[in-house]
Structure 1
Amino acid sequence: MARVVVGLSGGVDSSVAAHLLQEEGHEVIALFMRNWHDETVTIHDECPWIEDSNDAMLVAEKLGIPFQVIDLSEEYKERIVDYMFSEYEQGRTPNPDVLCNREIKFDVFLEKALSLGADYVATGHYCRRDEIEVDGKTVYRLLSGLDNNKDQSYFLCQLNQEQLSKALFPIGHLQKSEVRRIATELDLVTADKKDSQGLCFIGKVRLPEFLQQQLAPKKGQVIEIAAGTEIPKDFSRLPEQNEWSEKAAPFAFSADLGSVKGEHSGAHYFTIGQRKGLAIGGTPEPLFVIGTDTEHNLIYAGQGESHPGLRKEALFVAADDVHWLREDLSLKSGEQSSYMARIRYRQSLFPVTLHATDKGLYVLFEEAQKAVTPGQFVAWYQGEELVGSGVIQF
């Protein structure tokens, strides 16, 4: 059987993944990734890394597998944290978990595993992998997890064929309740441990304090735009003019469209669709962030989830940011195809049509979607298979 290195996180999912690989007869080695040293911005009670590494070690001892802590904090800072600061500074909202999988777990960590003679790396993700043959060539497919409430395929939307060829997802066919049952039967210390809600292998972070390490607070105005206001589009940002680009064009928010409703501490701390953190009350419906302007330090807000400034009919992904897990299905300029898609984790899939041009990919929605957020990822599916993804430009 194969030699498999498991990313043992100190949680129940990776613990059971390691056990299942053992049951299949593989030689299993456990590595715990330490990606962060600055504990001033982490919330200890939520996900203390020392407790996690101790739990991972206890699981490895219980299963009788080798265990080691590896420090990837330098690579994590360069590839994830610095990128996050840069994106927030530009008024975009990055997804560090997607990047962590692409840049850390299935790149730096994978290289470390291969140096130990591993055939595969395994994680506790709720997703599946299989392989098919296309024109005589092996093609690896990323499939959604069978537990619809826990499916994490979206977080792996930036992996490529080489990375998928070395990846194993032992619990992807299980329900979360089954994973906990197995851990309880094995008397693992992680059996009843709650799921981490924080950044990939860091823990829960106080985001404002985290961002303030690089991005200083800066008071600015919150402009409320009434729901009946006609909001123009910013066509100057379009790379080309066509019927799809006009639908995807970003809104052209400006202060004269609304009235000052309050103050904020920095436009770069906020994201489209955000409700908490504005600290402005007294409105019939809750205020949502519908736009941010980091250049002029303004936040635009609107009442209610149905506010027209919060909804779009399409989005655009620049050519350099279009990624196909299934390269054999990639669209050439002038081609189009229908898929199901999501623009955030756990969002229900919705029908879209992809239109490819030389400049990039236009994703048209059958129904308008709320909080289309630049910097986040759109992922498209064919049935249960994740086919491709891209960074939302606008």
Structure 2
Amino acid sequence: MRVLAALSGGVDSAVAAARAVDAGHDVVGVHMALARERAELRNGSRGCCSIEDAGDARRAADVLGIPYYVWDLSERFEDTVVADFLSEYEAGRTPNPCVRCNEHIKFRALLDRATALGFDAVCTGHYARVVTVDADGGPTRELHRAADLAKDQSYVLAVMGPERLARAVFPLGDVVSKAEVRAEAAARGLSVSAKPDSYDICFVADGDTQGFLRARLGSRPGDVVDVDGVVVGSHDGAYAYTVGQRRGLGLGRPAADGRPRYVVDVRPATNTVVVGAEELLEVRRVVGDRAVWFVDPPTRWTTCELQVRAHGSPVAARVRALPDDGMEVEVTGRLRGVAPGQSAVVYVGTRVVGQATVTGTGR
């Protein structure tokens, strides 16, 4: 099988590519240049797509003895992932840029280009498992959680859908720990074996999301109000707040009962941030759109678990499909602080069965 290995410059993608080579595939390495100012974007373990990362990816390819290329996808990344990030926050929603990157870049732009060039699949260093089972229509590929639940990335991969899953390879899905990957990299002579993991939002290299939003969207002063509409503070832009947020509110007037207050609503139309008690964050119903299903869309309530954050804990729930690519989830466990724009992923056991973008919640 001809496999295009996405080499980020990190240890995970390097070991994944090595395992693809060991499996007997014809492997070619490619580094995606996603940042317009690549030389400025790495700060320790923050950021990615720097000149350093491209060099590390090239050295990994040299050790593995595979061809290596750099593809400039920075314009596509800016026009989709970054633009979506800004527009979603501006509209009072809370996006997950990793989900959008997987949707628009890694498993659309990259995979489509790979297919056009005659590759059978794309290999990445994501932590997730693909399980092939026999079904009435023939073998079916299922997306499951990784063996190492602490590193599991099935949540951000759920947006890819079954058709793109059919052309994806995740060699690290069965590893039991990141330490195993680093040890394997060292044994293979890969210089990235001790390289720090990147974290936070890759294009916000200093970790200051509010500063990034302010620089792109400008200052937009407004009021912070309580649920009765009483002004209790001010802000420099409602776009910088998200439902469930407690820190950084800068409230000038404490609550009458002395309890902490949280963001319970963001209203871009009036540039207002609403704060209230923690119990107001309780969620019993989640509705989403742009649903992606790995099973036949369930028209009746189906028992499942719901996860709404990349590293969040799943909660007991039941799900059903709605018309026009909608999804409705009734939460039977405890869930708080869900914001429009987040990705809602539903599981049955370890298997991903569906994903949607949250449009609303109910108590």
TM-score (norm 2): 0.90
Deviations 1:201-246 (A, max 9, x none): 7756532343235422111122245xxxxxxxxxxxxxxxxxxxxx
Is 2:155 the counterpart of 1:186? no
> Is 2:293–2:353's contact at 8 Å kept on the other side of the alignment?
yes
User: Counterparts of 1:377 and 1:39 in 2: how far apart (Å)?
Assistant: 28
Q: 2:294 aligns with which of 325, 334, 340?
A: 325
Deviations 1:343-369 (A, max 9, x none): 111212211112444363321111341
Gaps of 5+ in 1: 226-256
Q: 2:351 aligns with which of 385, 390, 393?
A: 385
Aligned residue identity for 2:55: N
Give the CA deviation at 1:78. 2.1
1:45-194 equivalence runs, <5 A:
45=44, 46-47=46-47, 49-174=50-175, 175-194=177-196
Aligned residue identity for 1:345: A
Aligned residue identity for 2:303: S
Aligned residue identity for 2:124: T
Aligned residue identity for 1:342: Q
Measured at CA, do residues 72 and 223 of structure 1 come closer, stay the same or move farther in structure 2, by a change above 3 Å?
Answer: same
1:337 match: 302
Aligned residue identity for 2:190: L
> Share of identical aligned residues, percent?
35
Give the CA deviation at 1:296. 1.1
> Is 2:41–2:203's contact at 8 Å kept on the other side of the alignment?
no
Q: 2:240 aligns with which of 258, 264, 269?
A: 269
Equivalent position SS for 1:292 = strand
Give the CA deviation at 1:98. 0.9
Aligned length: 353
TM-score (norm 1): 0.83
Give the CA deviation at 1:258. 5.2
1:271-310 equivalence runs, <5 A:
271-280=242-251, 286-302=260-276, 307-310=278-281
RMSD of the TM alignment (CA)? 2.3
User: Counterparts of 2:40 and 2:261 in 1: how far apart (Å)?
Assistant: 27
User: Counterparts of 1:43 and 1:218 in 2: how far apart (Å)?
Assistant: 29
Q: 2:284 aligns with which of 294, 313, 316?
A: 313
User: Counterparts of 1:169 and 1:219 in 2: how far apart (Å)?
Assistant: 46
> Is 1:33–1:201's contact at 8 Å kept on the other side of the alignment?
no
Aligned residue identity for 2:208: R
> Is 1:198–1:204's contact at 8 Å kept on the other side of the alignment?
no
1:28 match: 27
Give the CA deviation at 1:44. 3.3
1:12 match: 11
Equivalent position SS for 1:212 = helix
User: Counterparts of 2:158 and 2:187 in 1: how far apart (Å)?
Assistant: 33
User: Counterparts of 2:195 and 2:47 in 1: how far apart (Å)?
Assistant: 11
User: Counterparts of 1:41 and 1:184 in 2: how far apart (Å)?
Assistant: 28
Gaps of 5+ in 2: none
User: Counterparts of 2:202 and 2:47 in 1: how far apart (Å)?
Assistant: 11
1:197 match: 199
Q: 1:210 aligns with which of 209, 212, 220?
A: 212
User: Counterparts of 2:261 and 2:53 in 1: how far apart (Å)?
Assistant: 37
Give the CA deviation at 1:278. 2.3
Give the CA deviation at 1:111. 2.0
